[in-house]
Chain A
Amino acid sequence: MAESLQLLKGTLDVLVLKALSWGPMHGFGIAAWIEQGTAGDLAVEDGALYQALHRMEERALIEGEWGVTDNNRRAKFYRMTRKGRQHLAAETAMWERYARAVTRLLQTA
């Protein structure tokens, strides 16, 4: 995947929170959601995703709980906390401002 984009620092957290805003998901579900949504343009190593998940759990942005999948397999599901929801809102707003600013500059120049 040499041509795919490297993730900016902190972006992965926002993507995970966005994924979880639809409801609880397990780690693979989140990975699949990101791949689908970006059509493979963003390179996320699966291991890095899990490290991010645990880090966010430590920061109490998300909560993990063991549950059962549709086809009856045991998996750890993540759920967004209230703090996570606030974080997502703040980050999204900032991201949009940043992107707008950079885009405008690049287009006028």
Chain B
Amino acid sequence: MGPLGRVFRFPRRSRRQIATEVDDEIHFHLEARAEQLARLGLSTAEARRAAEARFGDLERTRRALRESTRRREGRMRRRERLEAIGHDLRFALRQLRRQPGFAVVAVLTLAAGIAANAVMFGVIDRLLLRPPPHVVAPERVSRLYLRQWDEDGGERTTANISYRRLLELRDGGRAVADVAGYLADEFLLGRGDDAERVRGAYATASLFPLLGVRPVLGRFFGEAEDRPPDGARVVVLGYGLWQRRFGGDPGVIGRTVHVQSNDYTVVGVAPPGFAALDLREVDVWQPATSIRGEFGLPAEWATQHNFSWIEPVARLKPGVSAEQAAAVFSVAWARSLAEQLDAQRAAAARPRVLVAPALEQRGPQRSASARVSLWLAGVAGVVLLVACANDANLLLARGLERRREIAVRLALGVGRRRLVGQLVLESVLLALAGAVVGLVLAQWGGSLLYAVLLPDVGVHGELYDARVLAFTAAAAVVAGLLAGLVPALQASRPDLAATLKAGAREGGGRRARLRGALLVTQAALSVVLLVGAGLFVRSLHNARTVDLGLDTDRLVYATIDWRGAAPEGAEARAALDAQLLARLRALPEVERATTSLSLAFQRNITLDLFTEARDSVPRAGDMYFNAVGTDFFATTGARILQGRALDARDAVGTSPVMVVSEAMARAIWPRGGAVGRCLRVDEDTMPCATIVGVAQNVVQSELTTDSTLQYWVPETQRPSRRGSNVFALLARVRGEPAAAVPAIRAALQAELPGDAYANVAPMSELVDPSVRSWQLGATMFVAFGALALVIAAVGLYGVIAYHVSQRTHEMGVRRALGAGAGQLARTVLGEGVRAVTLGIAIGALLTWAAARWVEPLLFGVSPRDPLTYAAVAVVLLAVALLAGLAPARRAVRVDPSEALRVE
């Protein structure tokens, strides 16, 4: 199409016009033919009839011609539209190139907002949206959770059940669903120095057909290999492990690998990323029944209930709803429980089965990190809104600068719709450029975030998958439209031409109001983010400074995986334990060392307790039992509040003693005087153990230590049938715990027989995951809040500076009339401060209203913490003043004569 074609378009024709055109063409033909025949001597009427006869089916042809004309018309119109878009695109790029400074600021602020959203989408997608890989029809697959009420009236929900219970659920639920089970854990693979920790799982043979997964090599194990009491010694390798450790060798099938305590034969390789319903790829799959060989369980283990471990998975039959399935499973569980206990106690427990989504984080046991991540996703959205508001402000300012150009184009007859389209297209282009830059930022920041803050949910690398890219592109387009539409409508207002002619300097009151409103919005949203940041930072600080009763900065713990190499007999075992402890104490890195039967966040033991009078102790909650070596309290740093610690005096054969925690002392003897009393441990026939001391509360399984009721007895006096081995060795080290780990591990490993393996790590590794959600919240809220603050400051500066430049004339006049420098500066600064103050008020109200929902995510700080609010207000006002400073200086320096001479 020529240059004129762009202005004078191919006229669009209606259906009627097309019909007439076709009729005209046929009419002309019939006339011409009739004339030709008449010349050969036919009468006019005969000629007309003959012409029509030669034409054939008139109606059909007419229809065909109309249709084809319409088709052609449509295609031309489409092509024209495409050309128009191409033209607009080139035009927009030219415009952006003309003002690179503006483009850079807009692109960078949008990039920051988009990057935040891309990162958070990546997390949310993995945790809550994306179905588990290789699972066929995942919407019909569910996790089952068992809920019941304790005798204390507490509600307990668990996914871990006994093998027998799994079979009973399977049999009871046959009508509504298939049931399988698995449990993922850490396994040791290989022997000696070659050993590595991998992710392993016990799975019933039914799991693989239930999920619909197919092996990439070999086969999965079958029902015959997974029969109690002992499963076959076969394993299926994860794809990643197969590649990493076996180089993807197909000859791996039939090879023998040493997993945990036994040798297994490889029978297959699972597809890449397969993790059943979990997030982290499983490296080794073992038959569920092979667990007997690993844990040394008795032959009748599969028919007992005292070992709750496996997690049930169900695939609902077609047409069965989750509620129906839950009802059927609940009945099955109630029956199973009645068999285990008695009918009355089973009924009192009100057993109920929850049929929950396949994704764990969508179920009842959602982690705190997942909840915080959802919040952060919302926060990322707010950051993007702030960036959009900023972009809109910049575009508004630019609309003013381009008044002349736009007026000229309107005058030339460019339609308003086309003009708005072009302006919005510019804004969308900016946002897309922002998305590209944002993805680079996201890649850099995202991998950092995933690795450091979300290791427990197993989100790894691979940020740039199609879903994240699609989301990012969509977010960019929406942001571009959001930011661009209002400024475009403003800029293309037809009355602009009139304003232009009058030579007005300001864009009119409405525009100024609009920009003011955008500023207020930015400030309000910044307040929301900054208050959130403040609250999470305080939570993290509080969580970090909780007195855990454990000096985690100095402690290293060690546990032993015996892998079948534990010495036979209690005496030999005790001798080895003593040898390990002695070795530990001899190390120069170690200041003190002790043993412990339980380990915070890893293993807790509860036993029955009886008073002197052999009544059972009133249940004030679970009371945790621990048997510890001498020096336990000095090593861990738990303070003794009354009486004495356990020490060398409490040797084998001496009269039994114990130390109780402060909370437990208060729970049993509210009026005090615990020291000197005695309690019977485990059975009412046991000798009564005298309480010799009260210690501070020590962290057990959650960070709040107030409710942990604990008591410690000397390892030498432990009821012998309880906990047959020392579970952990604790060492108080000199200097940095992480630095001492290798030496300690080497020393312990040297003492160990056979395949036994020493795990050694700083104690903080056990505690950190429980602080992680606040750490995540604090880091990300601060990052996002700072981002929003910077964007808002840039916006504020831009708007004020722009106003000043527009009002140079006015400033000059006021200066000439005798206004002081301070007065002018106040005028300029006041503008920004007013907008920000209003924003702070609105933002504070919003945050106040939202406080209820953040409360459960905080730790030791009220969501309406006045200190946080005040600090945020001060920061924002300071930013407003700083942003206005440079423009104010410029306003004051205006030379009156210069300003008045302009125009």
Contact B68 A74 (CB under 8 A): no
Within 8 Å by CB of B65, from A28, A50, A75, lies A50
CA distance in complex: A73, B24 (Å): 11
Within 8 Å by CB of A75, from B28, B64, B69, B75, lies B28
Given A51-B61, A74-B24, A46:B68 Cβ within 8 A: no
Within 8 Å by CB of A26, from B21, B28, B75, lies B28
Contact B29 A46 (CB under 8 A): yes
Contact A46 B55 (CB under 8 A): yes
Q: Is B60 an interface residue (CB 8 A)?
A: yes
Contact A32 B36 (CB under 8 A): yes
Q: Is B71 an interface residue (CB 8 A)?
A: yes
Contact B68 A57 (CB under 8 A): yes
Chain A 73-97 per-residue mask, 1 if CB under 8 angstroms from chain B, else 0: 1111000000000000000000000
Contact B68 A47 (CB under 8 A): no
Q: Determine the chain B residues whose CB is within 8 A of the CB of A74 once the complex forms.
A: 24, 28
Chain A 2-14 per-residue mask, 1 if CB under 8 angstroms from chain B, else 0: 0000000000000
CA distance in complex: A76, B831 (Å): 69
Chain B 184-228 per-residue mask, 1 if CB under 8 angstroms from chain A, else 0: 000000000000000000000000000000000000000000000
Q: Determine the chain A residues whose CB is within 8 A of the CB of B414 once the complex forms.
A: none
Contact A54 B54 (CB under 8 A): no
In chain A, positions 45-77 with a C-beta closer than 8 Å to chain B are 45-48, 50-51, 54-55, 57-58, 73-76
In chain A, positions 7-31 with a C-beta closer than 8 Å to chain B are 26-28, 31
Contact A47 B28 (CB under 8 A): no
Give the Cβ gap from B30 to chain A, nearest Cβ, in Å.
Answer: 8
CA distance in complex: A75, B27 (Å): 9
Give the Cβ gap from B28 to chain A, nearest Cβ, in Å.
Answer: 5
Contact A50 B61 (CB under 8 A): yes
Chain A 34-51 per-residue mask, 1 if CB under 8 angstroms from chain B, else 0: 000000000001111011
CA distance in complex: A5, B539 (Å): 94
Within 8 Å by CB of A54, from B56, B57, B60, B65, lies B65
Give the Cβ gap from A39 to chain B, nearest Cβ, in Å.
Answer: 15
Give the Cβ gap from A83 to chain B, nearest Cβ, in Å.
Answer: 15
CA distance in complex: A54, B22 (Å): 10
B33 to A, closest residue via Cβ: A28
Q: Determine the chain A residues whose CB is within 8 A of the CB of B60 once the complex forms.
A: 47
Contact A28 B58 (CB under 8 A): no
Interface size, A (range): 10 to 19
Q: Is B437 an interface residue (CB 8 A)?
A: no
CA distance in complex: A74, B56 (Å): 23
CA distance in complex: A45, B36 (Å): 16
Contact A50 B69 (CB under 8 A): no
Chain B 103-135 per-residue mask, 1 if CB under 8 angstroms from chain A, else 0: 000000000000000000000000000000000
Contact B61 A47 (CB under 8 A): yes
Chain B 659-685 per-residue mask, 1 if CB under 8 angstroms from chain A, else 0: 000000000000000000000000000
A43 to B, closest residue via Cβ: B54
In chain B, positions 29-70 with a C-beta closer than 8 Å to chain A are 29, 31-33, 36, 54-58, 60-61, 64-65, 68-69
Give the Cβ gap from A24 to chain B, nearest Cβ, in Å.
Answer: 14
Give the Cβ gap from B631 to chain A, nearest Cβ, in Å.
Answer: 94
Given A26-B28, A75-B28, A58:B54 Cβ within 8 A: no
Contact B28 A48 (CB under 8 A): no
CA distance in complex: A39, B534 (Å): 97
Give the Cβ gap from A101 to chain B, nearest Cβ, in Å.
Answer: 33
Q: Determine the chain B residues whose CB is within 8 A of the CB of A75 once the complex forms.
A: 25, 28, 32
CA distance in complex: A75, B26 (Å): 9
Contact B33 A73 (CB under 8 A): no
Given A47-B57, A47-B60, A47-B61, A54:B29 Cβ within 8 A: no
CA distance in complex: A55, B29 (Å): 18
CA distance in complex: A55, B67 (Å): 10
Give the Cβ gap from B449 to chain A, nearest Cβ, in Å.
Answer: 55
Within 8 Å by CB of A50, from B21, B25, B32, B72, lies B25
Contact B25 A45 (CB under 8 A): no
Give the Cβ gap from B20 to chain A, nearest Cβ, in Å.
Answer: 12
Contact A46 B64 (CB under 8 A): no
Contact A27 B29 (CB under 8 A): yes
Contact A48 B56 (CB under 8 A): yes
Contact B69 A54 (CB under 8 A): yes
Contact B56 A28 (CB under 8 A): no
Q: Determine the chain A residues whose CB is within 8 A of the CB of B28 once the complex forms.
A: 26-28, 73-76
CA distance in complex: A18, B190 (Å): 83
Within 8 Å by CB of A46, from B21, B54, B65, B72, lies B54
Contact B24 A28 (CB under 8 A): no
A1 to B, closest residue via Cβ: B54
Give the Cβ gap from B219 to chain A, nearest Cβ, in Å.
Answer: 56
B26 to A, closest residue via Cβ: A50
B32 to A, closest residue via Cβ: A28
Contact B25 A76 (CB under 8 A): yes
Given A27-B25, A28-B29, A28-B32, A51:B64 Cβ within 8 A: yes
Contact B57 A57 (CB under 8 A): no
Within 8 Å by CB of B58, from A27, A47, A48, A73, lies A47
Give the Cβ gap from B63 to chain A, nearest Cβ, in Å.
Answer: 10
Give the Cβ gap from A79 to chain B, nearest Cβ, in Å.
Answer: 15
Give the Cβ gap from A63 to chain B, nearest Cβ, in Å.
Answer: 10
A55 to B, closest residue via Cβ: B68
Give the Cβ gap from B804 to chain A, nearest Cβ, in Å.
Answer: 59
Q: Determine the chain A residues whose CB is within 8 A of the CB of B24 once the complex forms.
A: 74, 76
Contact A45 B54 (CB under 8 A): yes
Q: Determine the chain B residues whose CB is within 8 A of the CB of A45 once the complex forms.
A: 54-56
CA distance in complex: A47, B54 (Å): 8
Give the Cβ gap from B11 to chain A, nearest Cβ, in Å.
Answer: 12
Given A32-B36, A45-B54, A45-B56, A50:B29 Cβ within 8 A: yes
Q: Determine the chain A residues whose CB is within 8 A of the CB of B65 once the complex forms.
A: 50-51, 54
Give the Cβ gap from A66 to chain B, nearest Cβ, in Å.
Answer: 8
CA distance in complex: A76, B57 (Å): 21
CA distance in complex: A32, B60 (Å): 22
Give the Cβ gap from A51 to chain B, nearest Cβ, in Å.
Answer: 5
Give the Cβ gap from A41 to chain B, nearest Cβ, in Å.
Answer: 16
12 further contact pairs, Cβ within 8 A, besides A31-B33, A50-B61:
A27-B29, A28-B28, A31-B29, A45-B55, A47-B60, A50-B26, A50-B65, A54-B65, A54-B72, A57-B72, A76-B21, A76-B25
- Chain A contacts to B: CB under 8 angstroms: 26-28, 31-32, 45-48, 50-51, 54-55, 57-58, 73-76
Closest 6 CB pairs of A and B: A47-B61, A47-B56, A45-B56, A54-B68, A28-B32, A46-B55
A-B contact pairs, 18 of them (CB 8 A): A26-B32, A28-B33, A32-B36, A45-B55, A45-B56, A47-B57, A47-B61, A48-B61, A50-B26, A50-B65, A51-B61, A51-B65, A54-B68, A54-B69, A57-B72, A58-B75, A73-B28, A75-B28
